[in-house]
Structure 1
Amino acid sequence: MKLDFLGTVIFGIVLLIGLAVVVIFILLGIFVIKALIKYIKSEDVRKEKSGIRKSLGKVLKQHREECNMTQEFVAEAIGVSRQAVSKWENGMSDPSTSNLIALAKLFKISTEELLHEVK
């Protein structure tokens, strides 16, 4: 009799654990679906942010090329690595304020003119 009762209790516990696992997977699925929907709806915002970063990079690259300068020359002139200049032009990072001022001087334009071209 004790064995039957113990078996029933163990079966009940296993059943509850299984039910809990199913509920957790359902909730996890709901959270994943909600996150995907939010990500999909944010496409316009992501494109806009990407466009802004690329715009500064394009402006920097345009001025560098108009001045017939290489990335290496620009890097040496303002005291940064060539990789830093490449990242700025590719929109992977933005130059610091002091580097932006140095770039404008190197390109023989004002910082305001340089930034005004960024959309």
Structure 2
Amino acid sequence: MKSDFLTNLFFRALQTVSIATMIARLLLPVAIVAALYLLWRIARNLEKPPKLTEEVKIVRKSLSEMLKENRTRCKMTQEFVAESIGVSRQAVSKWENGVSHS
């Protein structure tokens, strides 16, 4: 009686494990495809440069205009500003024209 119960319990556990294994085998390809799709989406987004909002464009434009206006108002040349802060004159020119933002 006790051995029948244990045998029955053992076979039910075995069936549960085999069902779980079967489900895992069925879902594994789906999980792999989903993971590959997510990696593809991440890689695709990394390739694109971030889109600049209109506000960011306005701020950058305003900053470059402000640099030039203040420099000319103080009657400073690009060369003088560049030497004062330790960069090249071309860097100051790029900042004022909004070409470089560093």
| Higher relative contact order, structure no. (Cα contacts within 8 Å, ≥ 6 residues apart) | 1
- Higher gyration radius (CA): 2
Q: TM exceeds 0.5?
A: no
After TM superposition, the score normalised by the length of structure 2 is 0.43
After TM superposition, the score normalised by the length of structure 1 is 0.39
